[in-house]
Structure 1
Amino acid sequence: MTTKKTLIGLGLGQTISLISTFLSFTASEIARKGINAPTSQSFLGYVTLAIVYGSIMLYRRPAIQVKWYNYFLLALVDVEANFLVVKAYQHTSMTSVMLLDCWAIPCVMILTWVFLKTKYRLMKISGVVICILGVIMVVFSDVHAGDRAGGSNPVKGDFLVLAGATFYAVSNVSEEFLVKNADRIELMSFLGLFGAIIGAIQISIFERGALNAIHWSTETVLPYLGIAIGIFLFYSLLTVLLRTNGSTMFTLSLLTSDMWAVLIRTFGYHEKVDWLYFLAFATTATGLIIYSMKEKDQEEHKSGEVVDEEAARRKLLDGDDEPGS
């Protein structure tokens, strides 16, 4: 175990998981108020990314390392992933949203194995299985408690969650490739820029009426500002975690977000929850630690695969200059 790398990965992963929990609570609260404008919730977050990282990029004036349409496609997938997941909260319960975490894991592992040539040894596969077992415990507990009865259209909500999970997997693996082979500031700048542009177009076409119907007040504005700050912090820390530990570690870390929500409900709102939640949290945490062990196994490549990856990298990046970090 590389102790420093493991601790950084676990710490960043759980910080991101807590931010994800905050975003989920806020999105659920907005949905409960009857506001049906999912794209608008992430729009300010993309704008913040574009302003902050775009300013840094303009100050540095570096050469653009990746063709612009790659960032556009990444932003499109990312915006729609956020749209689908937020939309799912209007139709189904938190238990169904947990399917997002479970389905994203095999998607990410397959994509990283095919495109990034990532090797998953027995230790890592065991950690993934243990993490999934922890989530299954939560699902069984929620089903027993009747949580799945919530939601106006659970089937539609489940479909939205699974579609969003697939989009998230594509987005996360793409970001991992770009952050490891190009420039982090450039990635955040263009993700924010194109995300804001795509979001603005989508809002003007599909969500203008819903936004006009909202009675704007401090109580309504604060959740949107909170989501904007949360998204900025989420993506800023995400790129660091992707570079150091990879997209699979990130996806596994998000498994604890629902369990953090349970702890917040228990100690913050004094709600009673099933004892399986606490066992599930401990199980998932154990799986994360096991996955983090022997991290070098994930980075091992066969010589022929390195050549293939380098060819893909050169095809993606602009110019003949070697990219910076």
Structure 2
Amino acid sequence: MDVNGWWGTHGNDIRRTLFLLFLGQVISFVMSLMSFTSSLLASLGVDTPLTLSFFVYLALSLVYGSIFIYRRQKLQVRWYWYLLIGFADVQGNFLVNQAFQYSSITSVTILDCWTIAWVILLTWYFLGTRYSLWQFFGAAVCVAGLGLVLLSDAGVGGGGGSRPLLGDTFVIMGTLFFALSNVGEEICVKKKDRVEVITMMAISGLLVSICEIAILETKGIASVKWSPEIVREPESAVLTNVTAVFSHLINSPFFSQILAFAGFAFAGFLFYTFVPFLLKMSGATLFNLSLLTSDMWAVVIRIFFYKQEVDWLYYVAFGLVGIGLVVYSKTEKALDSAPAIGDGSQYQILDEECRDARNDDVGDRS
């Protein structure tokens, strides 16, 4: 067998698959950092999911908005499409985070897999994406791997939460909004400029977050105790030492809150920066399948910070998800070359919007 010839034929496909898998796991790990910092804030008594998203959208708007303004280019997609995508993204974040207040973490994680089903339906209907039996098999293997993690975490009961039905409803609604956001972003990023997509989505999310914070979260922000509580005993001999003061500040709830907010914003910035790359090269389905490993990365983080032991099922689960991702991404490459995917019909609505915008500009100049 000619190894060089085989590698020359299949080398690009293998490198592409490995890169997609690596990028998906980077995004998954970043998402687990977001979950960790969010749970840390919840343990500190901070219940402000919209405010957390606000700082992420603000950072994205400042960085990518500056690049977009520097380019001085006009929008290639009408602004209200981005407003709809940003609105859906904010609602998904809010509903899923809010579900933890009413339902168990096991139920939320299981129902969060509904995003994959919604994405498959939406991409099939709006994008004309064709899925093979092997792709469905790969997706099923990924979900089975996550099921092992939940089995290990849940034990016998798993906890039901205070109002599980309400919490589960929030999760299902949130996954639908996430799917709408992912598919909308995939449509835009595959045909238009990535910087424009991130900028307009961030600005839209920022505006929606501001409006909803003013309506829904003012009491939650007011209830947060921001005082560092470091100088309540100025005569204390311990606090007279500069090192002890610094140590007291580091271990204070105030510093933990600030660090968690900053960590969430940084992780969120990386998350929304990397996501368009994966959506452009692959699609929303592989993106959501890759996110299934975020729970396992969260376990790694808990081991590092809290020295927790890991059940053997986690290793089996990680392997299953990896196998499912390989099966799905390898089959997806074969389908990408199908004429139905490349004929541009799935982008007809957005292309018509762009042509209308250009005609409007011509009419204005005349």
Query: TM-score when scaled to structure 2?
Result: 0.82
Which of 289, 310, 330 lines up with 1:293 in the alignment? 330
Give 1:243's aligned amino acid.
K
Distance 2:341 2:186 in 1: 21
Counterpart of 1:134 in 2: which secondary structure? helix
Contact 1:99–1:161 under 8 Å retained in 2: no
- Please state if 1:20 is matched with 2:20: no
Residue 107 of structure 1 is matched in structure 2 by 118
Residue 186 of structure 1 is matched in structure 2 by 196
The alpha carbon displacement at 1:303 in A equals 5.3
Residue 281 of structure 1 is matched in structure 2 by 318
Which of 141, 156, 159 lines up with 1:149 in the alignment? 159
Residue 83 of structure 2 is matched in structure 1 by 72
Which of 166, 169, 182 lines up with 1:159 in the alignment? 169
Residue 317 of structure 1 is matched in structure 2 by 354
Which of 280, 294, 307 lines up with 1:257 in the alignment? 294
Give 1:82's aligned amino acid.
N
The alpha carbon displacement at 1:210 in A equals 1.5
The alpha carbon displacement at 1:77 in A equals 0.5
Counterpart of 1:13 in 2: which secondary structure? helix
Distance 1:41 1:114 in 2: 33
Give 2:184's aligned amino acid.
S
Distance 2:76 2:344 in 1: 20
- Higher deviation after alignment, 214-223 or 292-301: 292-301
- Higher deviation after alignment, 266-275 or 181-190: 266-275
Residue 5 of structure 2 is matched in structure 1 by none
Structure 1 residue ranges (4+ consecutive) displaced by more than 6 angstroms after TM superposition: none
- Please state if 1:93 is matched with 2:130: no
Contact 1:117–1:301 under 8 Å retained in 2: no
The alpha carbon displacement at 1:138 in A equals 2.0
Which of 223, 235, 239 lines up with 2:260 in the alignment? 223
Distance 1:38 1:246 in 2: 27
Q: CA RMSD in A?
A: 2.1
Structure 2 spans left out of the alignment, 5+ residues: 1-9, 227-253, 360-366
Distance 2:257 2:287 in 1: 31
Distance 1:303 1:222 in 2: 48
Give 2:257's aligned amino acid.
T
Give 1:83's aligned amino acid.
F
Distance 1:153 1:58 in 2: 47
Distance 1:171 1:186 in 2: 15
Deviations 1:19-48 (A, max 9, x none): 111111111122222322211111000011
Give 1:51's aligned amino acid.
L
Query: TM-score when scaled to structure 1?
Result: 0.92
Contact 1:28–1:89 under 8 Å retained in 2: no
Structure 1 spans left out of the alignment, 5+ residues: none
Give 2:326's aligned amino acid.
I
The structure whose Rg is larger is 2
Which of 108, 116, 132 lines up with 2:127 in the alignment? 116
Contact 1:116–1:309 under 8 Å retained in 2: yes
The alpha carbon displacement at 1:100 in A equals 4.3
Distance 1:50 1:11 in 2: 27
- Higher deviation after alignment, 9-18 or 23-32: 23-32
Deviations 1:261-298 (A, max 9, x none): 22333454332343222211111111011111143333
Change (3 A) 1:232 1:245: same
Change (3 A) 1:313 1:203: closer
The alpha carbon displacement at 1:313 in A equals 3.4
The alpha carbon displacement at 1:214 in A equals 1.1
- Higher deviation after alignment, 261-270 or 175-184: 261-270
Distance 1:102 1:298 in 2: 24
Q: Percent identity between the aligned chains?
A: 41
- Higher deviation after alignment, 311-320 or 63-72: 311-320
Which of 179, 182, 202 lines up with 1:172 in the alignment? 182
Contact 2:77–2:354 under 8 Å retained in 1: yes
The alpha carbon displacement at 1:152 in A equals 3.3
Distance 1:162 1:231 in 2: 22
Residue 306 of structure 2 is matched in structure 1 by 269
Contact 1:141–1:274 under 8 Å retained in 2: yes
Contact 1:21–1:258 under 8 Å retained in 2: yes
Residue 236 of structure 2 is matched in structure 1 by none
The alpha carbon displacement at 1:220 in A equals 1.6
The alpha carbon displacement at 1:317 in A equals 2.6
Distance 1:60 1:160 in 2: 40
Distance 2:280 2:287 in 1: 10
Give 1:98's aligned amino acid.
T
Counterpart of 1:293 in 2: which secondary structure? helix
The alpha carbon displacement at 1:311 in A equals 2.5
Residue 4 of structure 1 is matched in structure 2 by 15
The alpha carbon displacement at 1:301 in A equals 4.3
Change (3 A) 1:310 1:211: closer
Aligned length in residues: 320
